[in-house]
Copies of this chain bind each other. A is one copy, B any other.
């Protein structure tokens, strides 16, 4: 089982781009990714591609993978569209690792793209209304905000988590996003802003919800046999884990935990031979503020019920012991469904290569990315570590 390495990763600006197509966005992300490889890379070196997108609604319905890779000059290579809702390109990343470990590829691209702000066609409007589960959730009128609101409610009831805890997630992530030039909502927000914002789905206010976003992101995964061609400072994908679960929240035993996240995290820690304490920073799936709190608990950053106090303590802030969502997270950086998982790998790459600018985590050696599909029907976790012992410039 060969080792896999992340040698480059980059994204477009995340935002609302009525003049862009999914092809043009993917191209921008791919070209920036190519340029992010320390020793450069010839696109002809890419053996295989995985493209994450939910991508319906007025756009390419089938074959949306090859439709974007052909546009960036990756003609002819095996290309597969991967879709696990909001975890699409997190899974694309994992399958790039599998392709490399299988010996069938030396260089695999994992990318993602989504256009969400164009609601001009009926199909898009329809699509934006989907929830995690069709038969019993969507057709009963439940939205994603509604599903996560139920999880927030249950966490408040069971552990005494407060609206202020949720708002602190928003304040932290907007603070980080304000330092990220690619962020969709790159402005700061105050605790009062978050607390006093209109309610979307009680108890979640507008600031407890991520935006709908356009954007693309890519990551390049290579085998141990070729990594030296591309970098002197290798970042190893030390662990990957993935799991699925009942798609409908109503079918799960608990509303205060996401078992797929827990399982994916445990697999990734085990493969990497590390524990949660060894993680210096993390990008977690904060589609709603409660999701970040659940992630703290499911990934072992704190005990069940302790996520509210943890965010309050400042430990997960930039400058804290283990910063979470230094990119701004889905909340502030934005959440272009299919691009989100690859976007998390972009931030991990930046942190571990010392190129995160004002958001740089000092001495970042090992990071984690955590990407969830639906309300927890699928989850994927990567543990990445910098092999060189030279300190990154902070």
Quick one: closest B residue to A245, CB to CB?
B76
**Residue A170 CB within 8 A of the other chain:** no
Interface residues of A in 157-200 (CB under 8 A from B): none
A256 to chain B, nearest CB (A): 18
| B-binding segment of A36-44, A65-73, A298-306, A324-332 | A65-73
Once the chains bind, are A134 and B76 in contact (CB under 8 Å)? no
Q: How far is the CA of A80 from the CA of B244 in the complex (A)?
A: 9
In the assembled complex, which residues on chain B have CB atoms less than 8 Å from the CB atom of A134? Answer: 59-61, 67
- Mask, A351-391, CB within 8 Å of B = 1, is 00000000000000000000001100110100000000000
Known contacts A63-B374, A66-B247; A91/B84 CB under 8 A: no
Once the chains bind, are A61 and B66 in contact (CB under 8 Å)? no
Q: Which of A62, A84, A130 has the largest count of B CB atoms less than 10 A from its CB?
A: A62
**Residue A394 CB within 8 A of the other chain:** no
- Mask, A7-48, CB within 8 Å of B = 1, is 000000000000000000000000000000000000000000
In the assembled complex, which residues on chain B have CB atoms less than 8 Å from the CB atom of A243? Answer: 76-78
Once the chains bind, are B244 and A69 in contact (CB under 8 Å)? yes
Quick one: closest B residue to A55, CB to CB?
B83
Q: How far is the CA of A38 from the CA of B75 in the complex (A)?
A: 41
In the assembled complex, which residues on chain B have CB atoms less than 8 Å from the CB atom of A97? Answer: 102
Once the chains bind, are B62 and A374 in contact (CB under 8 Å)? yes
Q: Which of A60, A66, A100 has the largest count of B CB atoms less than 10 A from its CB?
A: A66
Known contacts A62-B130, A134-B61; A77/B123 CB under 8 A: no
Once the chains bind, are B78 and A244 in contact (CB under 8 Å)? yes
Q: How far is the CA of A83 from the CA of B66 in the complex (A)?
A: 11
Known contacts A63-B373, A67-B247, A245-B75; A98/B104 CB under 8 A: yes
Partner pick for A83 among B75, B83, B85, B98, CB 8 A cutoff: B83
Quick one: closest B residue to A103, CB to CB?
B1
Q: How far is the CA of A97 from the CA of B101 in the complex (A)?
A: 12
**Residue A204 CB within 8 A of the other chain:** no
Once the chains bind, are A259 and B76 in contact (CB under 8 Å)? yes
Q: Which of A63, A82, A242, A377 has the largest count of B CB atoms less than 10 A from its CB?
A: A63
Q: How far is the CA of A100 from the CA of B99 in the complex (A)?
A: 10
Q: How far is the CA of A246 from the CA of B123 in the complex (A)?
A: 25
**Residue A81 CB within 8 A of the other chain:** yes
**Residue A95 CB within 8 A of the other chain:** yes
Known contacts A81-B83, A84-B81, A98-B102; A244/B66 CB under 8 A: yes
**Residue A250 CB within 8 A of the other chain:** no
A377 to chain B, nearest CB (A): 5
Q: How far is the CA of A246 from the CA of B75 in the complex (A)?
A: 7
- Mask, A115-136, CB within 8 Å of B = 1, is 0000000110011001011100
Given contacts A56-B56, A65-B244, A83-B83, 20 further A-B contacts (CB under 8 A): A1-B104, A60-B133, A62-B130, A62-B373, A63-B378, A65-B83, A66-B246, A66-B247, A66-B373, A67-B133, A67-B377, A70-B247, A70-B377, A74-B244, A78-B242, A79-B378, A80-B95, A81-B83, A101-B104, A122-B122
| Interfacial residues, chain A to chain B (CB-CB below 8 A) | 1, 49, 54, 56, 59-67, 69-70, 74-86, 91, 94-95, 97-104, 122-123, 126-127, 130, 132-134, 240, 242-247, 251, 259-260, 263, 337, 373-374, 377-378, 380
